[in-house]
């Protein structure tokens, strides 16, 4: 039996967003990003060597061209000609806009390296995962992570135990697939949004503010910087030609609900990636109350659109670990 390697990796949620590439061929980010690796959600991947590269996600074979640059970089780095078969599943809906590519490429990099007997350091795996998806560079580390602008690899800034009470409530606003990939949308922002330069220029000060809030466990300070980051990213998108808008009516309802909760004294700070889902930063002590408010906002937005409310749509996450890798058969 050939050696099979298992890896469980967790998605990386950016509080300060990476949006834009400084080098699209090497997939280097144009802005720094600060993220939290999320326990409560994961990708599980099983890899073995095979005659041809193949990635199956949730039972569906993925387009090979999406993975080709990653596998080529992997073979160059590992000095191998071997090819890989990977089967992957996500514990969360793949269309959830939960950065499944971050945990996906992190798990793939870690598992493939081990499948050829390599013990690459996390920073090297991070640089490989980045070729597939820059946010995946961060998922190779647990806790709170930083991927600087133009960097080839991410690093851990603080471990998960720095802030175990932190929670991220993922409000699953919609299961619809996103209309445009983040790669295409980043390129559209660079080439057609007059706000792209302003977005790049403001990313450094937002990062400094967020890091200060994170280090001092000041949720309001971190949350305000995180809000500005996603709002400016989406403002740059809206100013593209033609305009790009990932939000749905339920997205707006959730943003407004968070603002209302803050006015009532609750610490609920939302962020939004390249999709309609809303992720809310809060503390464990208030998580149940905030989750109930978010669920109500989803239910009323659905009722207004004529749809039936559909069960719980809130996933609770918290600062999580680095990927776990093990060899399963020899």
C-beta of 203 vs 302, nearer to ligand PMV = 203
CB of 27 or CB of 302, closer to ligand PMV: 27
135 near ligand PMV, rule: CB under 6 A? yes
Query: According to CB under 6 A, which residues from 180 to 219 bind ligand PMV?
Result: 182-183
What count of other Cβ atoms lies within 10 Å of the Cβ of residue 195? 17
Residue number, 101 or 295, with CB nearest to ligand PMV:
101
* One residue of 96, 99, 106, 111 binding ligand PMV per CB under 6 A: 99
Answer yes or no whether residue 237 interacts with ligand PMV by CB under 6 A. no
Look at strands 83-90 and 54-57 and give their pairing.
parallel
Contact between 134 and ligand PMV per CB under 6 A: yes
Q: Indicate whether 251 belongs to the interface with ligand PMV (CB under 6 A).
A: no
We find the least distance from the C-beta atom of residue 233 to ligand PMV, in angstroms, to be: 7
Q: Which of 178, 192, 177, 172 is nearest to 246 (CA)?
A: 178
Q: How far is the CB of 137 from ligand PMV (least distance, A)?
A: 8
User: Whole-angstrom Cα distance, residue 156 to residue 153?
Assistant: 10
Our finding on whether 145 is near ligand PMV (CB under 6 A) is no
Among 140, 274, 280, 294, binds ligand PMV (CB under 6 A): 274
Q: Which residues, 6 or more positions from 137, have their beta carbon under 8 angstroms from its beta carbon?
A: 126, 127, 129, 130, 147, 151, 153, 154
Q: How many CB atoms lie within 10 A of CB 49?
A: 16
Q: Does 115 contact ligand PMV by CB under 6 A?
A: no
Tokens of 132: 């597939």
User: Is 174 a residue that touches ligand PMV (CB under 6 A)?
Assistant: no
Nearest to 240 by CA among 171, 315, 186, 303: 186
Residue 156 interacting with ligand PMV (CB under 6 A) = no
DSSP 8-state secondary structure symbol assigned to residue 314: E
Instruction: Retrieve residue 80's tokens.
Output: 């191998």
101 binds ligand PMV (CB under 6 A): yes
- Cβ contact 38:11 at 8 Å: yes
Q: How far is the CB of 186 from ligand PMV (least distance, A)?
A: 7
Q: Is 133 in the site for ligand PMV (CB under 6 A)?
A: yes
> Residue 72: which of 128, 139, 135 has the closest Cα?
128
> Which residues contact ligand PMV by CB under 6 A?
14, 17-19, 33, 99, 101, 133-135, 182-183, 273-274
């Amino acid at each position: 039996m050939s050696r099979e390697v298992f890896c469980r990796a967790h998605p990386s949620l950016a509080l300060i967003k990476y949006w834009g590439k400084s080098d699209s061929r090497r997939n280097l980010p144009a802005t720094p990003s600060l993220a939290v690796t999320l326990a409560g959600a994961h990708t599980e991947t099983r890899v073995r060597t095979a005659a041809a590269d193949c990635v199956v996600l949730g039972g569906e074979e993925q387009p090979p061209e999406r993975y080709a640059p990653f596998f080529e970089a992997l073979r160059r780095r590992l000095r191998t000609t071997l090819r890989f078969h990977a089967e992957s599943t996500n514990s969360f809906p793949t269309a959830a806009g939960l950065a499944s590519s971050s945990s996906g490429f992190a798990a793939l990099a870690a598992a493939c390296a081990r499948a050829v007997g390599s013990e690459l350091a996390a920073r090297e795996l991070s640089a490989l995962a980045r070729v597939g998806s820059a946010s995946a560079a961060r998922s190779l580390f647990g806790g709170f992570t930083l991927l600087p602008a133009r960097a080839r690899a991410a690093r851990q800034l603080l471990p998960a135990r720095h802030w175990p009470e932190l929670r991220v409530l993922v409000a699953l606003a919609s299961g619809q697939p996103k209309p445009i990939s983040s790669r295409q949308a980043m390129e559209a922002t660079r080439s057609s949004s007059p706000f792209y330069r302003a977005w790049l220029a403001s990313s450094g000060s937002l990062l400094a503010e967020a890091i200060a809030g994170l280090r001092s466990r000041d949720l309001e300070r971190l949350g305000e910087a995180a809000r500005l980051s996603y709002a400016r990213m989406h403002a740059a998108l809206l100013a593209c030609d033609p305009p790009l808008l990932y939000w749905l009516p339920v997205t707006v309802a959730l943003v407004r609900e968070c603002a209302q909760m803050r006015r009532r004294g609750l610490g609920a700070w939302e962020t939004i990636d390249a999709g309609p889902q809303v992720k809310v930063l809060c503390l464990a002590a208030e998580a149940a109350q905030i989750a109930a408010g978010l669920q109500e906002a989803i239910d009323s937005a659905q009722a207004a659109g004529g749809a039936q409310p559909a069960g719980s749509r809130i996933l609770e996450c918290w600062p999580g670990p680095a990927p776990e890798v093990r060899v399963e058969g020899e």
